[in-house]
Amino acid sequence: MTVEVLLDTSYLISLVDARRPNHQTATKYFRQMLDESMPMYFSAIVAAEFGVKQPITDLPLPKFRHLPFNIPHGQRAAQLWNALGPRDDKTTRPVARDDIKLIAQACHERIPFLLTEDASSLHKYCKRLRDTGACQVRTILLSAGYDPGAFRLDGQQGLDLGDQI
């Protein structure tokens, strides 16, 4: 079974901007996804967010599968928003709703992983929703460093030996 991944805006920003602190980690994950022929999904929501500050043509678009945001995704997002309950952070409502929309897309499409740099809202919301059983999507957080086993469905962590072998 091929593992699929939904790419968050923050991941893509780190991938294309060598000055970002997690650029190297983002690049390692990108290389792994290419090497293992993992389908990488690029959401219409992410296209809108990324395009605010940078043209999406800066991204390796031919490597991605494009994912529109459709009515079933919207219905799932509403369910997840309600399941999430009150938020205890300072995230603005539109940003929080976009995060929930991405999680909803991954849930509806049965994409098990969401690759992100966003620990303050997207990762936190996804974890809360997993803990309640509302969805099974798991985030892979760039700030945790590169883990070659991050895409394992069983959750077992890997060991990055880099170029030492």
> 105-157, pLDDT tens digit by residue?
999 999 999 999 998 889 999 999 999 999 999 999 999 999 999 999 886 66
Q: What is the mean pLDDT of the chain?
A: 90
pLDDT by residue (tens digit) across 50-59? 999 999 999 9
Q: What tokens does 116 get?
A: 């992100």
Q: What angle do CA 155, 158, 162 make, to 5 degrees?
A: 150
Residue 165 lies in a domain: no
CATH code for the domain of 77: 3.40.50.1010
**Distance, CA of 22 to CA of 67 (rounded, Å):** 25
pTM comes to: 0.88
Residue 23 lies in a domain: yes
Eight-state DSSP code of residue 143: G
Contact 141, 113 (CB under 8 A): no
- pLDDT category at 2 given cuts 50, 70, 90 is confident
Domain count, the chain: 1
**Distance, CA of 63 to CA of 128 (rounded, Å):** 31
Q: Does the structure show a pLDDT above 60 at 60?
A: yes
Residue 37 lies in a domain: yes
Residue 115 lies in a domain: yes
* Confidence (pLDDT) at 27: 98
Q: Does the structure show a pLDDT above 50 at 165?
A: no
Question: What percent of the chain has a predicted confidence (pLDDT) above 70?
Answer: 87
Provide the residue range defining the domain that includes 38.
5-87+100-144
Residue 130 lies in a domain: yes
Contact 113, 139 (CB under 8 A): yes
Residues in a beta bridge with 41 = 6, 65
Contact 55, 32 (CB under 8 A): no
Eight-state DSSP code of residue 151: T
In whole angstroms, how far apart are CA 144 and each of 21, 62, 128? 12, 28, 18
Residue 93 lies in a domain: no
Residue 25 lies in a domain: yes
In whole angstroms, how far apart are CA 63 and each of 30, 31, 41, 60, 112? 10, 11, 9, 6, 19
Mean pLDDT of 16-45: 97
Residue 59 lies in a domain: yes
Smallest CA-to-CA distance from 40 within 51, 50, 52, 32 is with 32
Indicate if the alpha-carbon torsion angle 103, 111, 75, 42 is positive or negative.
positive
